[in-house]
Amino acid sequence: MSFHVQDLQAIEALIAFYAEAGIEFALDEEPHDRFAETEAEGRARAARASEAAGDNRGARAAPAGASPEPNRPPPFPQGAETADDAALAARAEARAAQSMEELRERLAAFDACGLKRTAKNLVFADGNPQARVMLVGEAPGRDEDLQGLPFVGRSGQLLDRMLATIGLDRTQVYIANIVPWRPPGNRTPTPQESAMCQPFLKRQIELCDPDILVCLGGPSAQALLGLTEGILRSRGKWFSYDTGRRTIRALATLHPAYLLRQPLQKRLAWRDLRALQKALQELPPRVD
């Protein structure tokens, strides 16, 4: 096969476009015919609509034995037909989990959040699930997706250094994210994606039962504390958070990724870290 210069330029432009859009690597060994998938989806949708309307007109059923949506998890978990059903299923799944391990398993099997389809790994948590401090970030990035652990990339390394300044390491904190799968191109998770994953995160907080919750960045503070003002206004302030077992203290602070872009703001983060350190020192000893 011979290529013309124009072909090569077009391929180069396409790859540059993919890279800008955040598509950095192929997800599968085999190529997918997305046009065929879309047509099959359309046929399946039409068949469902026709069935719901109680007639056999309009839609041609997929040939016997053919899967209407090859290589795809179902859009909602088994038994869930709509986003509302899926949200109910998320709540039921999360509530049913009696331990962190069970919660991780149930989340790994949960198919209703679209982010799961493009992520390589579930990024459930890192650190000590019995810690007195739980930190919640926004979403896994590329390194986290590859390793299946939160905060292992550049912002994670900064987070480790920040924690070390107040004498903490990952054996003394528990770390999770608002969503446990990497959004394509590291975009901010949509409100729907956050909401779909929230029952699992809330149960994770309940099972960890920390004394202090730290929200890293605006999206985390919004999702968990319901804050609507910007993070630069809400950082450094203490809030209450109801874990389901009890009400604990919660602190909003700046996200390490923001601090990498705005290093001068580290002085604000340092104030928040000192406030966290003081609050930890004031905690009564834990009675287990």
Burial track 216-229 (b if 16+ CB lie within 10 A, e otherwise): bbbbbbbbbbebee
Binding site residues, ligand URA, CB under 6 A: 137-141, 144, 150-151, 153, 155-156, 177, 257
CA pair distance 142, 148, nearest whole angstrom: 10
CA pair distance 227, 5, nearest whole angstrom: 54
Residues in CB range of 248: below 8 A, 6 or more apart: 210, 211, 212, 213, 240, 241
**Least separation, in Å, of the C-beta of 240 and ligand URA?**
23
CB-nearer residue toward ligand URA: 127 or 140: 140
CB-nearer residue toward ligand URA: 87 or 216: 216
**Least separation, in Å, of the C-beta of 126 and ligand URA?**
8
CB-nearer residue toward ligand URA: 77 or 141: 141
Closest residue by Cα to residue 219 from 249, 188, 198:
188
> Is the Cα dihedral 175, 248, 171, 270 positive or negative?
positive
Tell me which H or E stretch contains 90: helix 83-96
**Least separation, in Å, of the C-beta of 150 and ligand URA?**
3
CB-nearer residue toward ligand URA: 94 or 159: 159
CA pair distance 259, 273, nearest whole angstrom: 13
**Least separation, in Å, of the C-beta of 140 and ligand URA?**
5
Residue number with the smallest Cβ distance to ligand URA: 137
Distance of alpha carbon 231 from its chain centroid, rounded?
19
114, two tokens: 């679209």
CB-nearer residue toward ligand URA: 68 or 141: 141
**Least separation, in Å, of the C-beta of 100 and ligand URA?**
17
**Least separation, in Å, of the C-beta of 244 and ligand URA?**
23
